[in-house]
Amino acid sequence: MMARRGTVITQRALAKLNLVLRIRGRRSDGYHEIDSLMHTIGLADDVSVVLRPGLAVQCTGADLPGGESNLAYRAARLLAEACRGRRPAGALIRIRKRIPVAGGLAGGSADAAAVLSLLNEAWACGLPWDELLLLARRLGADVPFCLLGGAARATGIGDRLQPLEPRPGVPVVLIAWPEGLSTAEVYRVYDQLNPPSTARVEPALEALAAGDWRALGAALANDLQPVVEVLRPETRAARADLLTCGALGAAVTGSGPTVFGIFSSAERARRAARDLSGRWPIVITTELAARGLGSMRTNTWARGDGP
């Protein structure tokens, strides 16, 4: 049954990490084929929908447009088209951004996936899972993973998913920047530089399945990392800093610039974050997450705040 006008429903839109990102090649349409081990983390935007006529998006916590150029808006419009005949109501979509924008954490994709699942329910569209996944693919390569959540091996342009057992609770520290990097620009420079592909997914898959965090730390890898280090040289020092502070491994996620490290205990991660927070613009402690976990320990510090 369609929810009543004025009803508010909220969902956490969880970010992702690429524990490994291998670039397999460039397709004739310009997209890149990848092989990636992706995992949801506890860092999330809050997305809520208020049922009312018309369609609008309001963002707080980041300077993002509310209209057509917001991926959440496009998700709602695509769903409304797919549900035509079932006369969907409108919605005001409110997004409280916590995921750094253009950070390689799929924040926009996470919001879009949350809107698809929230409005499919609130508008009583009743689209089955596979149809929602098709809409997600049309919105962007990372949206299907965000809809699925947990852990998965992603191939194709990142939209073909093999779900894996997630490993919630592994402590993670992120170093992020207020200014992101454009994914298109990172891939453009990647094509120019054409660095050799060194990232391999298999060792990380084995480490994740075995729960061997030391091996997982050693297996973190990203073929875009050398390019991100050209465009944002301080990411190299940030990665080294995470390792000095006790990370089992550290890498760039997605097209950067966010750098992450995994830790053997929450206490070690917390101590590292305290040391790092004086030196880097944004330091966030979080953890690998299964889909939809309610309460996760996630803290953000701007430069200079101690935890």
Q: Which residue numbers are catalytic?
A: 16, 142
**Shortest approach of ligand ATP to residue 274 CB, angstroms?**
26
**Shortest approach of ligand ATP to residue 96 CB, angstroms?**
11
Q: Is residue 47 involved in binding ligand ATP (CB under 6 A)?
A: no
Q: Is residue 107 involved in binding ligand ATP (CB under 6 A)?
A: yes
Q: Is residue 257 involved in binding ligand ATP (CB under 6 A)?
A: no
Residue nearest ligand ATP, Cβ-based: 108
Q: Cα Rg for the chain, rounded, in angstroms?
A: 19
Q: Smaller CB distance to ligand ATP: residue 106 or 207? A: 106
Smallest Cα–Cα separation from 157: which of 177, 176, 183? 183
Q: Is residue 108 involved in binding ligand ATP (CB under 6 A)?
A: yes
**Shortest approach of ligand ATP to residue 98 CB, angstroms?**
11
Q: Is residue 106 involved in binding ligand ATP (CB under 6 A)?
A: yes
| Calpha distance 190→172 (Å, rounded) | 27
Instruction: State whether residue 215 is helix, strand or coil.
Output: helix
| Calpha distance 80→116 (Å, rounded) | 10
Is the separation of the CB atoms in 22 and 44 below 8 Å?
Answer: no
Smallest Cα–Cα separation from 249: which of 228, 225, 229? 225
Q: Is residue 71 involved in binding ligand ATP (CB under 6 A)?
A: yes
| Calpha distance 176→252 (Å, rounded) | 10
Interacting stretch for ligand ATP, rule CB under 6 A, among 70-78, 118-126, 237-245, 299-307? 70-78
| Calpha distance 158→140 (Å, rounded) | 9
**Shortest approach of ligand ATP to residue 204 CB, angstroms?**
19
Residue from 102, 220, 284, 296 in contact with ligand ATP (CB under 6 A): 102
Residue type, 259: V
Interface with ligand ATP (CB under 6 A), residue total 21
Taking the CB of residue 36, how many other CB atoms lie within 10 A of it?
27
Burial 109-126, CB ≥16 within 10 A → b, else e: bbbbbbbbbbbbebbebe
**Shortest approach of ligand ATP to residue 206 CB, angstroms?**
26
With residue 249 as reference, give the H or E element that holds it.
Answer: strand 249-252
Residue from 42, 76, 79, 103 in contact with ligand ATP (CB under 6 A): 103
Q: Considering only residues 213-252, where is the footprint of ligand ATP by CB under 6 A? A: none
Q: Considering only residues 155-184, where is the footprint of ligand ATP by CB under 6 A? A: 180, 183
Summarize as ranges the residues that interact with ligand ATP (CB under 6 A).
Answer: 64, 70-72, 95, 101-109, 111, 140, 142, 180, 183, 254-255
